[in-house]
Structure 1
Amino acid sequence: MSQNRETATLAGGCFWCLEAVFELLDGVEKVESGYTAGSTVNPSYEEICSGTTGHAEAVRIAFDPAVISCRDLLEVFFTIHDPTTLNRQGNDAGTQYRSAIFTHSPEQKAIAEEVVAGIPSAVTEIVPAGIFYVAEDYHQEYFRGHGNQPYCRSVVAPKVAKLKEKFKARLKSGSA
């Protein structure tokens, strides 16, 4: 891993979708699905699904800014989810599916504010990153292991295809 690694934490609907997309990008070294920005300590997936914890399904991305910038990650982020629907992505509804950028530095906050300001009707939250709870093991690399599952075929796969079409030059070798 790069010594100059940075972290980005993003929420934009189901974390399976985000993880499947971001893990394909050159410069992204690790993607973890998890929960953040709520009040329940060490929540379970079942608690998150109840919508009562305040947490968002999110991904924590370790990346090398010499290869891919925070702005590049946000460009991908806003291409693969709808930042104009409050607490909803497609049929996934609830605060756990909100659009949010959890910033790790003043620089990330400034970039996020600039990018979001350029999106009409965006409801994306920009807040400082807090505690990130890594989701249960079965959620990690979910699309890779369950790509034929109906949700993955109908929701995740189109986002991956969109990434591969629009950001082909940013993909890791062998990901096209």
Structure 2
Amino acid sequence: IEDGADRLEHLVGNLLDMSRLQTGTVNPLIREIDLDEVVPMALGGVPEGSVDLDIPENLPMVTVDKGLLERAVANVVENAVKYSPDRTRVLVAASAMGDHVELRVVDRGPGVPDAAKDRIFEPFQRYGDAPRGAGVGLGLAVARGFTEAMDGTLTAEDTPGGGLTMTLTLRAAV
């Protein structure tokens, strides 16, 4: 019952977030933060031990809305964990790239063909045979919408050796 209630709460949250994105009522409160303030908080919905973190201490701060970033990261990481083979950890790594910071979520799941990479970010879209409890296909749409509301990007690319890498590109603080 508790798991069902948690899934329902997550679904309702994503539905409300998608509604806010589609009506243009997302108003980010942009400020400078450290990724290590947000990313660990975003991992609350995944099983302990399913993610490896690699966020360097000397990484520049980013200019984002803390709440929107936490939700975007949570949705991307939860998706990666769902599609990863059992006992295969997802890597969440960050690095500075000029005036941007990239946060990569790397899984070893089945991956997504190039033709479907943009479609997975559309509302109510899931690729292939979704695992049990995979949701209704809103998580990545919300993640991309929130990332773009903060002037960032969220893209999908193949993981070398198999899987999918989601890259959130955020503005570094000056």
The answer to whether the superposition gives a TM-score over 0.5 is no
TM-score by length of 1: 0.29
TM-score by length of 2: 0.30
Q: Which has the higher contact order (CA 8 A, sep 6+)?
A: 1
